[in-house]
C-alpha cells in the first residue's frame, strides 16, 4: 500500500500547530518578562538587545518543548509502525490518521516525535551535569586560588592532567559497557555528588554559625535533601523510590562531570586570585572572618558574572559532548531518541535518505546557538555595569 | 627562559607518566581483559580457555610489572611452556623476543596491536601521517579565514559588518563536527553532487572531490572561536592611543589597520590557535569516522572498540604529547611575540 502524503505547506502549518503549548508558554513568559524587565536585573537587561531576545527565545523554546513533549509529539518515540518505514515527510499513518511530519526512519519510527523527546534527555542531563561540574569546580577552585601554595600546585596538576586527555579518549575509557561491572563509575559518582552537600553545608555554616535558630534548620535541610538524592543517585537506594537513575545514564553523567569540572576549576581559581587582592577582602580579613567565609560570601558573589556566562557556554558544550557520546554509540541505549544517537543512525544512511538526519542536527545546533547567544549578550550586559 | 622550558618538559614527562598509568589501569580492568580474550580466541571458548589465554600472554602478571614492561624498565617475558620449558613468542605477528629483553616505549617499541596483527609503530605512524595531511589542510583553511573574519569584524566595532560576522562566528561555534558534517554532506554530496561524501579513497590520492568535505567540516567549528578571539583582540588594539595618533597624523584607515593594528592584534590569536589543537583532536576522530578516512582518529576508535591495549596506549601517548607540546609552544611563542611579557 502506498502511503498518502500531505503538502509541504500543510506540514509547516501542522508542525507549528503541534507546538501550541510551547507558543502559549513562550508568549506568557516572554510577555511577562518584557513588561517587568526593569525589575528583573540582569535577566531583564537581556531584552534590550536582539541577540539577547533571540537567545532567551531559543532556550525557552527547547525548555518548554522538553516539558510538554508528551503533548506535542503525536507518536511514541520508540514505537514502530512497519508500514511507515523510510517514508518521506508528511506521510499519513493509515490507522490513526495522524501524520509523520518529518517522515519515518529506517526502523519506522516518527522522526518528529523522536526529535521532541530527544530534547528531554538533553535538557535534563546537560544542565544537571553542568551544575555538578560548577559545584566541584567552585569547591576546589576557591581554596586553590585563595591559599595558593601546595594545595594550588596539587589541584592544578590534577586539573591539567584531566584537561590533557582528549575528551573522546576519556569517554571511550570511562563510558564502556564493561566499566559498569566495576565500582569505578559508582566511586566517581560518590565523590562528585558529595561536593554539593559539602558546598551547601560550608556555605550555611560560615554564615550562620552564631545563629542557632537558622543554622540547624538549614544544615538539617541540606543533609536530608542532599542525602536523599545522594542515596538515590549513587546507590539507587532511595527509600521513597522517586530519585532513580539508570546505571548507563549515571555513567554518562559522571563522565561529563569529570570532563568539564577542571575547566570550571581553572576559571574559579583565576577569578579568586584576581579578587582576593581587592580591598573588601582585606577588610574582611581584618575583621577576623574565617577563610571559608571570605571565599564563599565575599569572593564567590563577586565572581558570579563570569561564572554565569561560563555556565551558559558550558551547558552548550555539554550538549555537544552528549551528542558526541550519542554519535559514537557510547552509554546511551541504541534506541534512545537523543539527538546524538539520531544523528549517528541517520548519517550512515545519508546516501539513500536525508530527511531523518536534518531534524536532530538542526535541533542540536539551534539549542547550542541559543545558549551561545544568551552567553554573548549576558557578557555584553555585565560589561556595561 | 631555558630553565623554564626544561622545567616545563619535566612536567610534561610527569603528566605523560601519570596519564599512561591511568589509561593502563582502565584498559586492564577485568571486563576489558575478558573482551580482549574473547575477541582474540575462537568462538565459543570456555571460561578456562579464556583464562589460560590471558595467563599465557602475560596479562595475569602483576599490574606494575606489566606497566614497567610496557614502559621498558622491566624485561618482557616470552611465553614459557610449563611442561617443556620451551619459550615461544608472545605474539608471532610482532616479532616479540624469545628471550627476556627490555623492550618498551623508552627503547622505542610501542608494543603489539592485537586488532591489526602488527606492531603499533607500523600501524600508528602511517595513520599519524595521514592525519597530519588532514590537519595541514584544515589549518591552511582555518587560520586565514578566521583571522580575516576577526579583523574585519573588529576593525570597526559595532558596525553592521561586525554584527553580521559576530553572529556568524557564534553560529559556527554552535555547530559541532557531526552536525556540520551531516549538513554539508546533505547539501554538497546529496543535493548538488559536487563533492564526495566519503574520504575513503583519499588514502590512494587526495583530490578536491574527496577531501574538501572533511576539511571544511573540521575547520568550521574552530573558525568561529578563533575569529571571536581575533575580533576581541582587534577591538582592544583599535582603542589604543597609538592608533588614534596614527589616524590624526593623517594616515588612511586601511594603512593604520595594516601597518599599526594588525601586528599587535595577532599576538592573542596565536595562543588561541595553538590551544585549539586539543579540540581539533576530538574533531579529527569524529570527522575521520564520519568520512571513513584512515587516520589517527580512525585508529583510535578501532583500538578503543576492540580494547587493543598497546595501540590504545600508543594513541593516548601521542595525543597527550600533542596537547602538552602545543601548550608549551603557545606559552613560549607568546613570550617571544610579546616583549612586554617575559617568562619569570
Q: State the DSSP string of A52-73.
A: HHHHHHHHHHHHHHHHTHHHH-
Residue pair B112/B94 in contact by the 8 Å Cβ criterion: yes
Answer whether B213 touches A (CB < 8 Å): no
Using a pLDDT cut of 70, give the percent of chain A over it.
98
**Which residue carries 563570569 as its cell?**
A306
Give the one of B179, B197, B289 whose C-beta lies nearest to A364's C-beta: B179
Please state, in angstroms and rounded to a whole number, the distance separating the CA atoms of residues A250 and A228.
Answer: 16
Q: Identify the bridge partners of residue B119 per DSSP, sorted by sequence position.
A: B112
Q: What is the mean pLDDT of residues A152-163?
A: 89
Identify all chain B residues contacting A369, using CB atoms and an 8 Å cutoff. Answer: 170-171, 174
DSSP 8-state symbol, A324? H
Is B182 in contact with A323 (Cβ distance < 8 A)? no
Answer whether A354 touches B (CB < 8 Å): yes
- Check pLDDT > 90 for residue B189: no
Identify all chain A residues contacting B167, using CB atoms and an 8 Å cutoff. Answer: 51, 373
- Check pLDDT > 90 for residue B232: no
Confidence of residue A2 (pLDDT cuts 50, 70, 90): low
Q: Residues of A numbered 171-190 whose beta carbons fall under 8 angstroms of chain B's beta carbons: which are they? A: 172-174, 176-179, 181-182, 184
Interval A51-85: pLDDT, tens: 888 888 999 999 988 888 888 887 777 777 777 77
Q: Which is more confident, A87 or A156?
A: A156
Closest-approach residue (CA) in chain A for B190: A351
pLDDT score at B344: 46
Closest-approach residue (CA) in chain A for B15: A161
Q: What is the mean pLDDT of residues A97-123?
A: 81
Is B182 in contact with A173 (Cβ distance < 8 A)? no
Is A350 in contact with B190 (Cβ distance < 8 A)? yes
For chains A and B, CB pairs below 8 A equal: 127
Residue pair B23/A173 in contact by the 8 Å Cβ criterion: yes
pLDDT score at A265: 92
- Check pLDDT > 70 for residue B203: no
Q: Which is more confident, B123 or A138?
A: A138
CA B203 to chain centre: 19
- Terminal-to-terminal C-alpha distance of chain A: 65
Residue B165 C-alpha cell reads as 560576522
Give the one of A163, A167, A184 whose C-beta lies nearest to B282's C-beta: A167
Identify all chain B residues contacting A357, using CB atoms and an 8 Å cutoff. Answer: 182, 186
Residue pair B264/B237 in contact by the 8 Å Cβ criterion: yes
pLDDT score at B202: 66
Is B30 in contact with A364 (Cβ distance < 8 A)? no
Identify all chain B residues contacting A342, using CB atoms and an 8 Å cutoff. Answer: none
Please state, in angstroms and rounded to a whole number, the distance separating the CA atoms of residues B154 and A223.
Answer: 51
Identify all chain A residues contacting B281, using CB atoms and an 8 Å cutoff. Answer: 166, 168
Distance from CA of B60 to the nearest CA of A (A): 18
Of B298, B30, B307, the residue nearest A328 (C-alpha): B298
pLDDT score at A132: 92
Is A179 in contact with B301 (Cβ distance < 8 A)? no
Interval A253-309: pLDDT, tens: 888 999 889 989 999 999 999 888 889 999 999 988 888 999 989 899 888 888 888
Confidence of residue B37 (pLDDT cuts 50, 70, 90): confident
Identify all chain A residues contacting B170, using CB atoms and an 8 Å cutoff. Answer: 369, 372-373, 376
pLDDT score at B81: 67
In the predicted model, what is the mean pLDDT of chain B? 81
Q: Which is more confident, A38 or B215?
A: B215
DSSP 8-state symbol, A88? P
Of B126, B105, B122, the residue nearest B24 (C-alpha): B105
Is B290 in contact with A347 (Cβ distance < 8 A)? yes
Q: What is the mean pLDDT of residues A352-370?
A: 87
Instruction: Say if residue A144 is exposed, middle or buried (CB neighbours under 10 Å; 0-12, 13-18, 19+).
Output: buried
Residue pair B299/B127 in contact by the 8 Å Cβ criterion: yes
Q: Which is more confident, B300 or B331?
A: B300
pLDDT score at B341: 60
- Terminal-to-terminal C-alpha distance of chain B: 8
Instruction: Say if residue B216 is exposed, middle or buried (CB neighbours under 10 Å; 0-12, 13-18, 19+).
Output: buried
Identify all chain A residues contacting B175, using CB atoms and an 8 Å cutoff. Answer: 365, 368
Interval B68-113: pLDDT, tens: 888 877 777 776 666 666 666 667 677 666 777 777 777 777 777 7
Identify all chain B residues contacting A316, using CB atoms and an 8 Å cutoff. Answer: 174
Enumerate residues 6+ apart whose C-beta is below 8 A from A154: none
Q: What is the mean pLDDT of residues A218-241?
A: 81
Is A343 in contact with B178 (Cβ distance < 8 A)? yes
Please state, in angstroms and rounded to a whole number, the distance separating the CA atoms of residues A67 and B17.
Answer: 47
Residue A17 C-alpha cell reads as 500547530
Q: What is the ipTM of this complex?
A: 0.83
Which of A89-103, A121-135, B207-221 comes out lowest in average pLDDT? Answer: A89-103
Residue pair B274/B111 in contact by the 8 Å Cβ criterion: no
Interval A319-336: pLDDT, tens: 988 888 888 888 777 788
Which of A45-54, A77-86, B133-142 comes out lowest in average pLDDT? Answer: A77-86
Answer whether A263 touches B (CB < 8 Å): no
Q: Residues of A numbered 138-167 whose beta carbons fall under 8 angstroms of chain B's beta carbons: which are they? A: 157, 160-161, 163-167
Q: What is the mean pLDDT of residues A170-175?
A: 85
DSSP 8-state symbol, B70? H
H or E segment and range at residue A214: helix A212-230
- Check pLDDT > 70 for residue B21: yes
pTM equals: 0.86
Please state, in angstroms and rounded to a whole number, the distance separating the CA atoms of residues B155 and B153.
Answer: 6
Reduced 3-state DSSP string for A241-294: CCCCCCHHHHHHHHHHHHHHHHHHHHHHHHHHHHHCCCHHHHHHHHHCCCHHHH
Distance from CA of A68 to the nearest CA of B (A): 25
Amino acid at each position: 500500500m502506498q502511503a498518502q502524503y500531505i503538502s509541504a505547506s500543510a506540514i509547516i502549518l501542522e508542525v507549528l500547530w503541534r507546538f501550541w503549548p510551547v507558543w502559549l508558554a513562550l508568549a506568557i513568559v516572554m510577555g511577562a518578562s518584557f513588561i517587568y524587565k526593569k525589575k528583573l536585573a540582569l535577566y531583564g537587561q537581556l531584552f534590550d538587545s536582539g541577540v539577547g531576545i533571540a537567545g532567551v527565545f531559543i532556550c525557552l523554546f527547547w525548555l518548554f518543548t522538553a516539558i510538554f513533549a508528551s503533548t506535542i509529539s503525536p507518536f511514541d518515540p520508540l514505537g514502530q509502525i512497519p508500514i511507515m518505514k523510510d517514508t518521506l515527510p508528511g506521510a499519513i499513518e493509515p490507522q490513526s490518521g495522524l501524520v509523520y511530519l518529518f517522515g519515518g526512519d529506517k526502523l519506522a519510527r516518527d522522526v518528529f516525535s523522536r526529535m521532541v523527546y530527544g530534547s528531554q534527555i538533553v535538557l535534563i542531563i546537560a544542565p544537571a551535569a553542568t551544575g555538578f561540574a560548577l559545584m566541584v569546580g567552585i569547591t576546589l577552585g576557591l581554596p586553590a586560588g585563595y591559599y595558593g601554595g601546595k594545595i594550588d600546585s596539587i589541584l592544578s596538576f590534577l586539573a591539567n592532567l584531566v584537561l590533557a586527555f582528549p575528551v573522546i579518549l576519556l569517554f571511550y575509557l570511562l563510558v564502556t559497557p564493561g566499566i559498569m561491572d566495576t565500582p569505578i563509575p559508582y566511586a566517581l559518582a560518590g565523590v562528585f555528588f558529595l561536593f554539593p552537600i559539602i558546598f551547601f553545608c560550608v556555605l550555611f555554616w560560615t554564615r550562620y554559625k552564631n545563629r542557632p535558630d537558622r543554622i540547624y534548620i538549614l544544615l538539617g535541610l541540606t543533609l536530608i535533601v542532599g542525602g536523599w538524592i545522594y542515596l538515590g543517585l549513587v546507590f539507587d537506594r532511595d527509600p521513597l523510590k522517586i530519585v532513580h537513575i539508570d546505571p548507563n545514564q549515571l555513567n554518562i553523567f559522571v563522565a561529563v562531570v569529570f570532563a568539564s569540572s577542571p575547566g570550571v576549576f581553572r576559571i574559579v581559581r583565576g577569578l579568586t586570585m584576581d579578587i582576593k587582592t581587592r580591598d573588601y577582602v582585606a577588610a574582611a580579613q581584618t575583621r577576623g572572618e574565617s577563610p571559608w567565609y571570605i571565599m564563599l560570601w565575599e569572593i564567590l558573589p563577586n565572581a558570579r558574572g563570569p561564572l554565569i556566562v561560563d555556565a551558559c557556554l558550558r551547558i552548550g558544550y555539554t550538549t555537544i559532548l552528549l551528542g558526541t557520546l550519542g554519535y559514537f554509540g557510547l552509554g546511551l541505549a541504541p534506541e534512545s531518541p537523543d539527538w546524538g544517537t539520531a544523528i549517528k543512525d541517520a548519517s550512515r544512511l545519508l546516501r539513500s535518505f536525508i530527511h531523518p538526519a536534518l531534524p536532530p542536527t538542526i535541533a542540536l545546533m539551534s539549542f547550542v546557538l541559543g545558549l551561545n547567544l544568551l552567553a554573548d549578550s549576558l557578557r555584553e550586559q555585565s560589561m556595561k555595569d | 627562559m631555558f630553565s623554564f622550558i626544561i622545567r616545563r618538559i619535566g612536567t610534561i614527562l610527569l603528566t605523560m607518566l601519570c596519564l599512561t598509568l591511568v589509561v593502563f589501569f582502565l584498559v586492564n580492568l577485568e571486563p576489558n581483559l575478558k573482551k580482549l580474550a574473547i575477541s582474540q580466541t575462537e568462538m565459543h571458548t570456555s571460561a578456562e580457555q579464556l583464562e589460560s589465554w590471558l595467563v599465557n600472554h602475560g596479562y595475569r602478571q602483576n599490574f606494575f610489572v606489566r606497566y614497567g614492561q610496557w614502559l621498558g624498565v622491566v624485561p618482557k617475558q616470552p611465553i614459557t611452556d610449563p611442561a617443556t620449558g620451551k619459550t615461544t613468542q608472545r605474539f608471532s605477528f610482532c616479532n616479540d623476543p624469545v628471550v627476556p629483553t627490555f623492550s618498551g616505549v623508552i627503547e622505542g617499541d610501542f608494543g603489539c596491536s592485537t586488532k591489526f596483527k602488527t606492531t603499533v609503530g607500523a600501524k600508528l605512524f602511517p595513520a599519524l601521517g595521514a592525519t597530519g595531511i588532514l590537519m595541514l589542510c584544515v589549518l591552511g583553511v582555518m587560520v586565514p579565514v578566521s583571522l580575516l573574519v576577526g579583523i574585519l569584524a573588529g576593525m570597526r566595532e559595532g558596525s553592521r559588518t561586525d554584527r553580521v560576522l559576530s553572529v556568524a562566528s557564534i553560529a559556527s561555534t554552535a555547530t559541532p563536527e557531526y552536525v556540520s558534517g551531516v549538513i554539508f554532506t546533505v547539501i554538497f554530496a546529496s543535493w548538488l553532487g559536487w563533492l564526495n561524501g566519503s574520504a575513503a579513497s583519499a588514502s590512494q590520492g587526495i583530490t578536491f572531490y574527496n577531501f574538501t568535505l572533511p576539511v571544511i567540516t573540521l575547520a568550521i567549528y574552530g573558525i568561529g572561536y578563533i575569529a571571536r578571539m581575533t575580533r576581541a583582540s582587534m577591538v582592544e588594539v583599535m582603542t589604543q592611543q597609538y592608533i588614534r595618533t596614527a589616524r590624526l597624523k593623517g594616515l588612511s584607515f586601511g594603512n593604520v589597520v595594516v601597518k599599526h593594528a594588525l601586528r599587535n592584534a595577532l599576538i592573542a590569536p596565536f595562543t588561541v590557535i595553538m590551544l585549539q589543537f586539543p579540540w581539533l583532536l576530538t574533531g579529527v576522530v569524529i570527522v575521520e569516522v564520519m568520512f571513513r578516512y584512515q587516520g589517527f582518529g580512525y585508529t583510535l576508535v578501532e583500538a578503543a572498540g576492540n580494547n587493543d591495549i598497546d595501540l590504545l596506549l600508543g594513541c593516548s601517548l601521542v595525543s597527550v604529547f600533542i596537547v602538552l607540546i602545543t601548550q608549551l609552544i603557545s606559552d613560549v611563542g607568546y613570550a617571544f611575540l610579546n616583549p612586554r611579557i617575559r617568562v619569570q
